Structures are given as C-alpha cells and as structure tokens.
Amino acid sequence: MSTVYAVIIAGGRGERFWPLSTDRVPKPFIPLLERRTLIQQTVDRLLPLLPPERMLISIGEAHREIAAAQLPQIPPENFIVEPVGRDTAPCLGYCALHIEQRDPDAVLFALPADHYIADSAAYRRTIEKGISALPGASGVVFGIRPVRPETGYGYVQAQESEPAAEFLSVLRFVEKPDLDRARAYQAAGDYFWNSGMFVWRNRTLLQLIEKHMQELHRGLAALRPLIGRQESRAELHRIFATLPRISIDFGIMEKTLGLRLVPAEFVWDDIGNWGALARALPHDADSNVSLGAHLALESSRCITYSDAGVVATFGVSDLIVIHAQGKVLVCSKDRAGELKRVLAALGPEA
C-alpha cells in the first residue's frame, strides 16, 4: 500500500468564536471542547494511523508560531506556510508539490483542522476504509448522513454500485441548498454532507488540477522549483498571490468522474459557531450547555463558555454567554451565525 500523508488544513478564521478566537488566534487554535485545542485534537486523533512525519499542517504566515507551539511533535518542515490565503484548491495543490518531492507515489488525505468528531476509533476505521476505497477511483470523499436539514453545508449524492462494497459511487456534488431542498436531501437517503475530508493519490490530484484548473496548474508549475528553498520567499509570495481563489470542491470535485464516497461511522460536526456547542456537549436538566465554570439559576437552553472566572446566569434563556480573553459576549442564540457584525462594529478593539 502507498505511503499516506495527511494534510491538515488550518485555515479557519477567527470571527465566529469571538472573543475566544480572533484573527490572531483563529478557530483551530482555541481549546473549544476540551483543554487541547481543535488542531491538537485533530493531530491526536490521527496519531494511531500516521506518524507526525507524515502530517503536513497547511497554515497561514501569521499562524506559523502558534501552530508550531501547539504541535511540538510535528517536524518544522511539515508546516506548509501559505504566503497568502487562497482557498482549498491552491492550498492542496501546494501541499501536493511538497508531498511529490518526498514520495511521488504517496496518497494524500486532506482534512480540516477544526471539526468535532465524537468517536476517534470509529473515525480512524472510516479513514482506513476511505484509503482502501481509493484503488480504482479518481478520489474518495467522506460523507456524513444528514441528521437535520442543514443549509450551511454542501452535499454529495452517492449510490451503491458495487454490491457489498464499503463505498458508494458519487453521482454529483451539490452546493449549499435552501431549506426545502435540504429537507428533501435529508429524506432522500442518498445525499450526504460533504465533510471536507478527501483522499487522492497525490499524483492524481495534480493531474486533476492540470485538467480542470489550468491557471492553478501553471501557478503550481512555477512554484515547483521553489519548494524547500528558503531564499525564495519573495518569489513564492509573488506567485502565490496570482493563484485563483477557488475551493477544491468547486474547482475539482464537482467536475471529476469516478469519485467514491465512504459514509462516516462517527458523529461529526463542523462546529460552525457558538450555537453548535449545544450539539457537541452534554446538557443539564434545563438544556444548558457549558464549558468552564457556570452557575445556572432559573436559566434554560443557554450556552456558556468561560476561560476564567465563573459565569452566572439568572432568569434568562436561549442566550450565548462567552467570557474569554478578558471580554464578554452576550448574544441571542438565533444570532450566533452573525457574529461578524459584532466584530465589524467593534473594529480594532475586537
């Protein structure tokens, strides 16, 4: 079997978990669900499958230090620093150049750094199935069976084609639906949430980019001779800035035939904002969910977080109360997805 490299994409922004996360310390680097940060949890989860030498961390220039500090077991050359952020297609193409130099026959497993996964053992079983499903496919996507009519995710339609196989054949990638469609997808049974986790042969990924994204392909060709050369940072920055801002889903996956889908056997959530904590954490008798010290008195359906002293709620309901980084957010639960408006109003103070 080919050597597998994991590419952990740590590209999340900071605004959805303000004031705990900020542009300086974005979501992958915050201790959201336990004491370890999300990216630390991601690496921990993969360690039984892969040695740290085969984990690449794709990261923005501004977060190189915090990433290195949080992941001391990852070799320094495995932090793949993007000089400018350019969405997932350029990010993965650039990582593929690094892997190509180390092992042209490697397999690339791409995954976001900041997802919630309830059961690590089931997660690793699913990943192993995905890698096993690669021979004979152009690529593999991991799909999550919808548990609600979610309008914030892309979907993948996939059906059985080989009897008794552990994978399905992808029919099509679908962009974020409206609520009616999301309901229909959930009812249909052959639609899955696109988890953002993929497997390709590294070589195939580069070929797919050549076939479907000529501009990116040309950019990568210009980048290839610079890989590993310290003195080329200015040149790297110049070329990177010319790459198209396109996601791997839109740039490649929607156009690629012969993809397979492996359904996840684990509970998954992308924890897109503070409101998602209510799905990922245990509730008290009044449906409050809390991380850190919380006293709930006649309070219900609240989400609280504290990285310092106690948060006391009294006679309130359906609130998000965050006490982090010395700041306080009190937000109606139905506004959790609009936090960027708070940051815009605060300006540099945020």
Contact residues: a copy of itself, CB under 8 A:
19, 293, 295, 297-298, 306, 308-316, 319, 321, 323, 325-332, 334-335, 338-339, 341-342, 345-346, 349
Tell me which residue has tokens 């959201």: 32
Do 251 and 213 form a contact (C-beta atoms < 8 A)? yes
**CA gap 250, 286 in Å, rounded:** 42
Do 188 and 196 form a contact (C-beta atoms < 8 A)? no
Asked whether the bond before 19 is cis by omega within 30 degrees of 0, the reply is yes
Which CB sits closer to a copy of itself, 24 or 145?
24
CB of 314 to a copy of itself, least distance (A): 4
Q: Which residues contact 65 (CB under 8 A, 6 or more apart)?
A: none
CB of 13 to a copy of itself, least distance (A): 18
Which CB sits closer to a copy of itself, 183 or 335?
335
